[in-house]
Amino acid sequence: MAVDRIENLQGYNPILSEAALAYLNSAFIGTELLPIVSTKSKKFKYRVWHKDKFKWYETERALRAEDNKVMPGDFSYVEAELDEHSISEILDYNEIDAALDFDLKEDAVETVMGIIELSKEKKIADLVQTAGNFTNKVALTTTGCWSDTTNSDPEANITTGKDAIFAAVGQFPTVAAMGIDTWSLVKAHPKLKNLIFGTNNWGVITEELFAKQFGFQKVVIGAGWYDLAGTVTKLWNDNFIMAWVPVLGAGETQKRLYILA
């Protein structure tokens, strides 16, 4: 077995040495919904601000009267602790020396980094696609499913979701995310094409056109896969997810998701 491995690394055709085949995953989208935030330690606290900034106060002041005053906003702390993740690829120096036409160590770095990124994407995908994690969610059934192009109403569903997020946090969603199966239904749905292009339905719905129509800053399509014990499965299911995603560094923020499953 070890001999076969070494021979496999050594045996190459110089004429074809610039060509290789490899499986690569599609671009990941998870951090578009849940951005990465750095911390100084594994165990930390974060602040949760109350809705004091939504309170209305009388600000008009009479001549020589005292300034109107407001108490500082209230907040609470939540404790959290990070898990540690680690993975490495085993290489023997004989393998490294035998790889004549490529850098085996560089390939190993790309492999383990890809595994870490895939693990992160799957954790986010599982989190945001588990309906029990959220209160704002709708399960479309029978004629309400977007695959029923005659009876379903995607525009109404999306508008309802946007309003639910606004009612919860006072902000409309900025990001729409969906799996490739959902995107296939969206870009071909006659009612959405009629909404965007008019009765001629002559155009092709793109992410940019869809975002402009519904007021999203970004539309992302999840097309990644993962292999578990030889079974290859899509990371992103037939879901449509809307979220208000804060810009990192913008101060006290929160995220709100709305799921159409």
User: One digit per residue, pLDDT tens: the chain, 261 residues?
Assistant: 565 655 565 555 554 444 445 566 778 999 999 988 888 899 988 888 787 877 888 889 888 888 988 888 888 899 999 998 889 888 887 877 777 777 888 888 888 899 999 999 999 999 999 999 988 899 999 999 999 999 999 999 999 999 999 998 889 999 999 999 999 999 999 999 999 998 877 788 999 999 999 999 999 999 999 999 999 999 999 999 999 998 765 444 455 555 554
Left, alpha or beta for 170 (phi > 0: left; psi -120 to 50: alpha)? left
The architecture of the domain spanning 131-260 is Alpha-Beta Complex (3.90)
How many residues are there in the chain? 261
**Domain spans in the chain, listed from the N-terminal domain onward:** 131-260
Residue 9: the pLDDT is: 54
- Residues 195, 192: Cα–Cα separation, whole Å: 5
The answer to whether 28 and 114 are in contact (CB under 8 A) is: no
Cα distances (angstroms) measured from residue 138 to each of 3, 8, 176, 200, 241: 57, 52, 15, 31, 10
Q: Which of 174, 148, 152 is nearest to 253 (CA)?
A: 174
Residue 255: the pLDDT is: 55
- Residues 218, 32: Cα–Cα separation, whole Å: 9
Residue 12: the pLDDT is: 52
Angle at 184 between CA 179 and CA 185, to 5 degrees: 100
The answer to whether 165 and 33 are in contact (CB under 8 A) is: no
* DSSP H/E element including 46: strand 43-49
Residue 208: the pLDDT is: 96
Tell me the one-letter amino acid at 151: N
Residue 5: the pLDDT is: 59
Residue 23: the pLDDT is: 60
Cα distances (angstroms) measured from residue 212 to each of 19, 131, 209, 218: 41, 27, 5, 9
Report how far apart the first and last C-alpha atoms of the chain are (Å, whole number). Answer: 48
- Residues 254, 257: Cα–Cα separation, whole Å: 10
